[in-house]
Amino acid sequence: MTTSAAQETPAGSKALTRVGGIVGAAVAVSLIWTLAVPVLGVDLTVTSIGATAPQTVDLVTILIATVAVSLVGWGLLALLERRGKGRIWTFVAAGVMVLSLASPLLATGPLDARLTLALLHIVVGAVVIPAFRRGVPA
Protein backbone atom coordinates (compact mmCIF):
# COMPACT_ATOMS: atom_id res chain seq x y z
CA MET A 1 0.00 0.00 0.00
CA THR A 2 1.41 3.36 -0.95
CA THR A 3 0.57 6.50 0.91
CA SER A 4 2.22 8.97 -1.45
CA ALA A 5 -1.02 9.60 -3.36
CA ALA A 6 -2.84 10.44 -0.15
CA GLN A 7 -0.18 12.80 1.14
CA GLU A 8 -0.54 16.44 0.34
CA THR A 9 2.34 18.63 -0.60
CA PRO A 10 2.97 21.60 1.68
CA ALA A 11 1.80 23.93 -1.10
CA GLY A 12 -1.38 21.88 -1.58
CA SER A 13 -2.05 21.86 2.14
CA LYS A 14 -1.47 25.61 2.34
CA ALA A 15 -3.83 26.22 -0.60
CA LEU A 16 -6.48 23.99 0.94
CA THR A 17 -6.21 25.89 4.23
CA ARG A 18 -6.59 29.20 2.41
CA VAL A 19 -9.58 27.99 0.40
CA GLY A 20 -11.03 26.83 3.70
CA GLY A 21 -10.50 30.32 5.07
CA ILE A 22 -12.44 31.85 2.19
CA VAL A 23 -15.25 29.32 2.59
CA GLY A 24 -15.25 29.87 6.36
CA ALA A 25 -15.49 33.62 5.91
CA ALA A 26 -18.34 33.21 3.42
CA VAL A 27 -20.22 30.94 5.83
CA ALA A 28 -19.60 33.33 8.75
CA VAL A 29 -20.87 36.41 6.91
CA SER A 30 -23.88 34.45 5.66
CA LEU A 31 -24.77 33.52 9.22
CA ILE A 32 -24.36 37.09 10.45
CA TRP A 33 -26.40 38.49 7.55
CA THR A 34 -29.13 35.89 8.20
CA LEU A 35 -29.25 36.75 11.88
CA ALA A 36 -29.18 40.51 11.29
CA VAL A 37 -31.49 40.95 8.32
CA PRO A 38 -34.27 38.33 8.30
CA VAL A 39 -34.18 37.48 12.01
CA LEU A 40 -33.48 40.83 13.71
CA GLY A 41 -34.88 43.00 10.93
CA VAL A 42 -31.81 45.17 10.33
CA ASP A 43 -32.22 47.16 7.12
CA LEU A 44 -28.78 47.20 5.48
CA THR A 45 -29.52 50.31 3.45
CA VAL A 46 -26.76 52.93 3.71
CA THR A 47 -25.34 55.75 1.66
CA SER A 48 -21.62 55.24 1.20
CA ILE A 49 -19.10 58.04 1.43
CA GLY A 50 -19.29 60.09 -1.75
CA ALA A 51 -22.44 58.35 -2.99
CA THR A 52 -25.63 60.25 -3.69
CA ALA A 53 -28.15 57.44 -3.38
CA PRO A 54 -28.62 54.83 -0.68
CA GLN A 55 -27.74 51.23 -1.46
CA THR A 56 -29.15 48.10 0.12
CA VAL A 57 -26.43 45.57 0.81
CA ASP A 58 -27.75 42.08 0.11
CA LEU A 59 -26.25 38.68 0.81
CA VAL A 60 -25.02 38.16 -2.76
CA THR A 61 -23.10 41.44 -2.66
CA ILE A 62 -21.57 40.50 0.69
CA LEU A 63 -20.51 37.07 -0.57
CA ILE A 64 -19.00 38.46 -3.78
CA ALA A 65 -17.08 41.09 -1.81
CA THR A 66 -15.87 38.48 0.70
CA VAL A 67 -14.55 36.15 -1.98
CA ALA A 68 -13.10 38.95 -4.12
CA VAL A 69 -11.24 40.65 -1.27
CA SER A 70 -10.00 37.29 0.00
CA LEU A 71 -8.64 36.35 -3.43
CA VAL A 72 -6.89 39.72 -3.75
CA GLY A 73 -5.37 39.16 -0.32
CA TRP A 74 -4.23 35.68 -1.33
CA GLY A 75 -2.66 37.07 -4.49
CA LEU A 76 -0.75 39.68 -2.52
CA LEU A 77 0.37 37.05 -0.03
CA ALA A 78 1.59 34.78 -2.84
CA LEU A 79 3.54 37.66 -4.35
CA LEU A 80 5.10 38.55 -1.02
CA GLU A 81 5.91 34.91 -0.29
CA ARG A 82 7.75 34.59 -3.61
CA ARG A 83 9.87 37.56 -2.61
CA GLY A 84 10.55 36.13 0.85
CA LYS A 85 8.47 38.82 2.55
CA GLY A 86 5.38 36.83 3.50
CA ARG A 87 5.70 37.85 7.13
CA ILE A 88 4.66 41.44 6.42
CA TRP A 89 1.39 40.32 4.85
CA THR A 90 -0.33 40.01 8.22
CA PHE A 91 0.35 43.66 9.01
CA VAL A 92 -0.81 44.75 5.57
CA ALA A 93 -3.97 42.63 5.81
CA ALA A 94 -4.79 43.88 9.31
CA GLY A 95 -4.22 47.46 8.19
CA VAL A 96 -6.50 47.03 5.18
CA MET A 97 -9.17 45.51 7.41
CA VAL A 98 -8.98 48.43 9.84
CA LEU A 99 -9.10 50.95 6.99
CA SER A 100 -12.06 49.12 5.46
CA LEU A 101 -14.07 49.92 8.58
CA ALA A 102 -14.21 53.55 7.46
CA SER A 103 -16.69 52.62 4.73
CA PRO A 104 -19.48 51.29 6.97
CA LEU A 105 -18.75 53.50 9.96
CA LEU A 106 -18.67 56.75 7.98
CA ALA A 107 -21.62 55.86 5.76
CA THR A 108 -24.97 57.52 6.28
CA GLY A 109 -27.71 55.26 7.53
CA PRO A 110 -29.12 53.59 10.60
CA LEU A 111 -26.57 52.79 13.31
CA ASP A 112 -27.57 49.12 13.42
CA ALA A 113 -26.92 48.81 9.67
CA ARG A 114 -23.52 50.48 9.90
CA LEU A 115 -22.49 48.37 12.90
CA THR A 116 -23.64 45.17 11.18
CA LEU A 117 -21.62 46.05 8.08
CA ALA A 118 -18.58 46.86 10.24
CA LEU A 119 -19.00 43.50 11.99
CA LEU A 120 -19.01 41.77 8.60
CA HIS A 121 -15.70 43.45 7.73
CA ILE A 122 -14.17 42.37 11.04
CA VAL A 123 -15.40 38.78 10.72
CA VAL A 124 -13.92 38.39 7.23
CA GLY A 125 -10.57 39.60 8.54
CA ALA A 126 -10.80 37.46 11.67
CA VAL A 127 -11.36 34.32 9.59
CA VAL A 128 -9.22 34.98 6.51
CA ILE A 129 -6.10 36.48 8.11
CA PRO A 130 -5.31 33.53 10.41
CA ALA A 131 -6.19 30.98 7.69
CA PHE A 132 -3.92 32.64 5.15
CA ARG A 133 -1.19 33.20 7.74
CA ARG A 134 -0.76 29.44 8.29
CA GLY A 135 2.31 28.18 6.56
CA VAL A 136 3.95 31.60 6.25
CA PRO A 137 7.45 31.42 7.75
CA ALA A 138 7.66 33.21 11.12
Output the CA torsion 12→18→20→21 (10° steps).
170
Its pTM stands at: 0.87
**Given pLDDT bands bounded at 50, 70 and 90, which one contains residue 41?**
very high
User: Is residue 79's pLDDT more than 60?
Assistant: yes
Asked if 132 and 73 count as a contact pair (C-beta separation under 8 A), the reply is yes
What does the domain layout of the chain look like in residue ranges?
Answer: 55-84, 85-137
- At 49-71, the pLDDT tens digits run 888 899 999 999 999 999 999 99
User: Is residue 111's pLDDT more than 90?
Assistant: yes
